[in-house]
Amino acid sequence: MSKITNLILDCETIDLKYNFICDLSWAIVSKNKIIAVKNYIVQENLDRMATGSFSGAKMSATMAEVKNGNAEIKSYSEICAELASDLEMANYVYAYNASFDRGKIIATAKSLQLPEWAEHFEKIENFDKWRCLWAWATNTILYKKSFIDWCEVNGQISEKGNCKTSAETTLKFIMNDLDYVEQHTARADVLDEFIIYLACKNMVKKEFGDRVLDDRNFKGTWHNIAKLKIAFNS
């Protein structure tokens, strides 16, 4: 893999009580195409998945990926080694709410007494490669009046008066499909987030030229409708 790629990553955790990774997937993207998708189930956490608050439907969907050959059960150390190798060759790794996924990769290593991998992913050169796809989306494809109007018409507004900006809501807007529901398996979410990634990248190319948008350029990950209406009308 030449160093012209990006990764798009998603993880699923077991439950709020044992909030560590059980399902981890990432896509290797080159020239706006997915060239490989990797999906691993954490071997050490299989028993907790079966006995914890991991829903039956989610467990079935996750293990179906193993059965159909799309996912493998591996030790977390092996998974970390593969991710580290791919990350080394990538420019950036994108995730929807990147701080969550990045933090869980490190926290899971610590929980399984793998300090060497926790330390590896905490290294500044690895830490700095992460980009928040959520923040990128809210400052490109969602930062426009048409999205505000769509949220109001379709009831996609939070109790605080903000536009909802979850990955699921963003996909509903991009695909113009209010019935769309995320599967919430790591592999499925990675494929969904690739759609968001492309939409963001296409808009950046059209409206921002070659300027690279990283976390320091972002205005935030929420939109208050009242404030945005004033901004758009000023």
Total structural domains in the chain?
A: 2
Among 108, 132, 156, the domain-final residue is: 132
Q: What is the pLDDT of residue 228?
A: 58
User: What's the CATH code of the domain at 81?
Assistant: 3.30.420.10
Q: Is residue 208 domain-shared with residue 174, that is, in the same domain?
A: yes
Higher pLDDT, 2 or 78: 78
Among 74, 105, 132, the domain-final residue is: 132
Segment 95-116, tens digit of pLDDT: 998 999 999 999 999 999 999 9
Share of the chain above pLDDT 90, in %: 55
pLDDT-based confidence at residue 229 (cuts at 50, 70, 90): low
Q: What is the pLDDT of residue 220?
A: 47
Q: Is residue 187 domain-shared with residue 216, that is, in the same domain?
A: yes
Higher pLDDT, 61 or 173: 173
Q: What is the pLDDT of residue 170?
A: 95
Q: Is residue 152 domain-shared with residue 113, that is, in the same domain?
A: no
Rounded Cα distance, 23 and 132, in Å? 20
pTM: 0.87
| Pair 151, 135: CB distance under 8 Å | no
Q: What is the pLDDT of residue 79?
A: 98
| Pair 72, 39: CB distance under 8 Å | yes
Query: How is residue 16 annotated by DSSP?
Result: S
Q: Is residue 139 domain-shared with residue 125, that is, in the same domain?
A: no
Q: Give Cα separations from 19 to 9, 41, 69, 114, 234 (angstroms).
A: 18, 15, 26, 16, 44
Query: What range does the domain containing 127 cover?
Result: 5-132
Segment 160-192, tens digit of pLDDT: 888 899 999 999 999 999 999 988 899 999 999
Q: Give Cα separations from 104 to 13, 15, 20, 112 (angstroms).
A: 8, 12, 6, 12
Q: Is residue 31 domain-shared with residue 120, that is, in the same domain?
A: yes
Q: What is the pLDDT of residue 92?
A: 92
Q: Is residue 200 domain-shared with residue 172, that is, in the same domain?
A: yes
* Res. 232: pLDDT tops 90: no
Rounded Cα distance, 97 and 167, in Å? 9
Write the Ramachandran bin of 176: left for phi over 0, alpha for psi from -120 to 50, otherwise beta: left
Higher pLDDT, 140 or 153: 153
* Res. 221: pLDDT tops 70: no
SS3 of 139-158 = CCCCCCHHHHHHHHHCCCEC
Q: Is residue 38 domain-shared with residue 71, that is, in the same domain?
A: yes
